[in-house]
Amino acid sequence: MLFIAPVIQTIILGYVVRTDITNIPIGIINLSSSLESHRLLNRLASSALFKIKLVSSSPVNAEEIFRRGKCKALIIFRDKFQSPPEGNNFFAGWPEIQVLLDGTDANSAMIAAGYFYGLLGHYLETKIRHSGQEILLQPKTIIRFNPSLRSIHTMGPAIVALLLTIITLLLTGIGLVREKEQQTLDTLLVSKLTPLEIFLGKTLPMATIALIEMTLGIIVVRLVFGVRPRGNLAFLYLAAVVFLFSLLSIGFLISLLSQTQQQALFFCWFTMLLFLMLSGLLTPLENIPAAFRWLTAINPLRYLIAIIREIFLKGNNLAYFYQDILIMAGLGFVAFLFSLSVFRRSVIK
Amino acid sequence: MERLKAVIVKEFIHIRRDPRSLVIIFALPLVMIFIFGHVLSFDLKKIETLIIDLDRSPLSRDLITRFAAAPLYKIYSLENQGHAEKRAAAAQDYLQSAERWLRQGKIKQYLIIPRDFSRRLAANFPSPVAVVIDGADANVATRLYQYNERIFKSFFFPTKSIEMPFEVKIKMFFNPEIASTPFIIPGLVAALMLMISALLTSLSLAREKETGSIELLFISPLRSPDIILGKTIPYLLVALIVGLVIFLFSHFFFGLQVHGSPLVLFLTAVIYILTGLSLGILISTVAPTQKVAMLVALLGTILPSIFLSGFIFPLESLSPALRAFSYLVPATYFLRILRSLTLKGASLRHFLFEASVLLAISLFLLALAIRKFSTLRRASA
């Protein structure tokens, strides 16, 4: 269970994040009889980015269509009333274009609009070239580190880190609580073991399991999704050990502060979501309001994910991310000292 | 009925005796909504962009101004100065630093405007501009690329002899400011409500198994449905109150508005919470210990509700197999209802289907839990 669950989840989540946004359902309302609108329509139909759910040659009620959730965008071609300005007959006969977007999912809607702009621009460029004119400004874009822009390369290894977090945090989080509930904690406390020994005894097995799980996860993303690291994996294990130290200290702290397993469950859930949502994995971290920025600064998962990206995609070596490792170690140390002091106090009681 | 009532009353006593847990159950989701509501946003702003201008002409500065005017970028520009030989050496330096900063993540992209940029354009001769983007975050890189292209196009069309012939007009329905908060908050509420309700019931029977008190339940005259329902219904009230508090909180802090009927929202929310509770009670019946129950409940709710419900990743883009899988995730349905209600103001007939599916899932999970419990009971007898 402990080993199979992460493998299955890595595979499923890998497929989820591998899917870049495509197949956006759109509708085309063609009120123009021009050749250009017809050609553009064909272009849209042959693109994998869009899935045309509706083609109409008469006006429709856009709001009702969006309300039913059938399309996320509507593209309308309409004949122009005015003839084009003097001396500019290149675009004579072009329809007027209007794009209506369902703002419910603003993110997808803007991506759809972006795709449409791209398609239109490409079409225009071909037209201009065909007419024998030259396009003057020619941007040449190079994508570094992930040239195919596949999001599995961005997300795949990070998902391994995520699963690692969930499992280790929970298992250490309930570690001592179970003993509290079953009244075996007192036996542990009156024993000659020092708090440090108890901490190590409770967390070392977890750390071992976690490292094995991480190895499994890396093998899975490699075999199933073909994501291979550019950098040295030894650095990743170093980072993972430091990360686990901070995570296990936090888990130990949770288990000291909770009285029942249910409380530990809720604390773990809270911590996991906080780490996940503030990790930069799901949303960009750049525009987090300043008042909340410190929350990302104390999130060990954020540093691990940054390091994973540097090792897997950029092939960076330790010199680039040793600071991140030091910060994680510092965070772990603070949590560790705090949990030890809480532990000592409960021993005195 | 009498027996069911007895179990419910007993469960309420349990809840009341543990006020600390109750405080945790109420406080944590609120803290989360407060933080995530402020922090989660898909908008890109102030992306560090370095422009190496080797041309230093009015035309190249015009291009830089166009980039600087867009809120998406935070522009740093390097200009070449001095004599010709010095300039060539400096250009090499600039490139090396740009590469290093890109690798360190200090900048997300850099542009190079070549030396003869304006001369070539003035002579009606094409000129390249190099753009190097950090692709480590594929999503950000894609959007940067698209946005760059738009700026380049706005630049080249007006300088050509041909005017841009038409304007593409964009109109955004339901969310004219294109903010991602109205999109994210309903998703957050839906995901949190499912997790809370499933976590609430996931330990109940597993705990009794650990302490051995489940044997007492087995030999009691209570029928299995009474026990399962009696352990579920009290939490319906707890989860509903938590849900209501979350909702009011999102309303006051993040402007979440209900455009449809509040009654419809309430009814669908009750069904949805029941689905989460049923999932929890089923996990609790099957799991041998609390530890296993927790692992299953967390892995089974956090990841699907976030990744497979349409909360972050649009469902249309999923492969058919995963799409089918997403129909098993309760959050998928409630998310659709909640987004429609808060952004579009749809009425009940628009999501009769979603509500019935949720109800069907809850009844199925409950029936499964009751059956499993009866089997356990027979096995122990």
Q: Name all domains of chain A by residue range, CATH numbers in brackets.
A: 22-130 (3.40.190), 151-348 (no CATH)
pLDDT at B89 over 70: no
- For residue B164, the model assigns a pLDDT of 46
Beta bridge partners of A139: B129
d(C-alpha B278, C-alpha B268), whole Å: 15
Q: Quick one: pLDDT band at residue A243, thresholds 50, 70, 90? A: very high
DSSP string, B259-321: -S-HHHHHHHHHHHHHHHHHHHHHHHHH-SSHHHHHHHHHHHHHHHHHHSSSSSS-GGGS-HH
Give the percent of chain B with pLDDT over 70.
90
Q: Locate the chain A residue with the closest alpha carbon to B344.
A: A67
The minimum CA-CA distance between B256 and chain A, rounded to whole Å, is 13
In sequence order, the 6+-apart residues with CB closer than 8 A to the CB of B301 are B194, B195, B198, B199, B276, B279
Of A154, A273, A306, the CB nearest to B138: A154
d(C-alpha B211, C-alpha B200), whole Å: 18
Beta bridge partners of B52: B78, B112
For strands B127-134 and B109-113, give the pairing. antiparallel
| Interchain contact A36–B (C-beta under 8 A) | no
CB contact under 8 A, A138 and B343: no
The minimum CA-CA distance between B82 and chain A, rounded to whole Å, is 27
Is the C-alpha dihedral spanning A57, A63, A66, A70 positive or negative? negative
Q: Quick one: pLDDT band at residue A275, thresholds 50, 70, 90? A: very high
Query: Of residues A144 and A273, which shows the higher confidence score?
Result: A273
pLDDT at B308 over 90: no
- Residue B255 near residue B37, CB atoms below 8 Å: no
pTM of the model: 0.81
d(C-alpha B214, C-alpha B201), whole Å: 15
Provide the number of CB pairs (under 8 Å) joining chain A to chain B. 334
Query: Of residues B56 and B179, which shows the higher confidence score?
Result: B56
Q: What is the pLDDT of residues B118-134, one digit of tens each?
A: 888 877 777 888 899 98
| Interchain contact A15–B (C-beta under 8 A) | yes
d(C-alpha A71, C-alpha A69), whole Å: 6
CB contact under 8 A, B147 and A309: no
d(C-alpha A189, C-alpha B128), whole Å: 72
pLDDT at B162 over 50: no
Q: Locate the chain A residue with the closest alpha carbon to B211.
A: A182
CB environment A328-342: b (16+ within 10 A), e (fewer): bbebbeebbeebbee
Cβ-Cβ contacts under 8 Å, B160 against chain A: 133, 136
The residue written with tokens 């003869």 in the block is B116
- For residue A150, the model assigns a pLDDT of 72
Domain ranges of chain B: 2-40+179-380, 47-159
Q: Residue A105's closest CA among A69, A53, A157?
A: A69
CB contact under 8 A, B295 and A1: yes
Query: Of residues A71 and A84, which shows the higher confidence score?
Result: A71
Beta bridge partners of B109: B49, B133
DSSP string, A214-255: HHHHHHHHHHHH----SS-HHHHHHHHHHHHHHHHHHHHHHH
- Residue A65 near residue A71, CB atoms below 8 Å: yes
**CATH (one of 3.20.20.70, 3.40.50.2300, 3.30.360.10, 3.40.1710.10) for B47-159:** 3.40.1710.10
Edge-to-edge strands, sheet with A50-56: A50-56, A24-30, A73-78, A96-102, B169-173
CB contact under 8 A, B302 and A269: yes
Q: Quick one: pLDDT band at residue A220, thresholds 50, 70, 90? A: confident
Cβ-Cβ contacts under 8 Å, A225 against chain B: none
